[in-house]
Amino acid sequence: MDESLVQQIASNPAYLQLKAKRSRYGWWLTLAMMVVYYGFILLVAFDKALLSRLTGDGVMTVGIPLGFGVIVFTIVITAVYVKRANTEFDELSAAVAKAVRK
């Protein structure tokens, strides 16, 4: 790749904005995922009695829906990131490409 093109992109304000927004958003989603996942793991490690409580007359315990919730949460935050990436982040990427092509 042409070094001047790389420098042009790296110094573009829209690229710097994209890089900052994407990074900040990624860290917030990572933090949210870690809280949910490690919260569940800490419950498994330190409060087995809570997770082993039956939810009704059947055999399902509290831990099963909570574990399923962790999986669903992962899918939801992935969808949230993809939606934002396909709108705001793609618009900023297009602005960078347009500015560099001038």
For residue range 24-47, list pLDDT tens digits in order. Answer: 999 999 999 999 999 999 999 999
Distance (Å, rounded) from C-alpha 93 to C-alpha 12? 11
* Closest by Cα among 61, 59, 31 to 43: 61
Judge whether 43 and 50 are in contact, CB under 8 Å.
yes
pLDDT surpassing 80 at residue 1: no
pTM of this structure: 0.82
The torsion angles phi and psi of 32, rounded to 5 degrees, stand at -60, -45
Q: Cα–Cα distance between 33 and 75 in angstroms, integer? A: 10
Which of 19-23, 37-41, 95-99 comes out lowest in average pLDDT?
95-99
Confidence of residue 101 (pLDDT cuts 50, 70, 90): confident
Q: How high does pLDDT run on average in the chain?
A: 93
Q: Is 62 helix (H, G, I), strand (E, B) or coil?
A: coil
Domain ranges (residues) in the chain: 14-101
pLDDT (0 to 100) of residue 3: 86
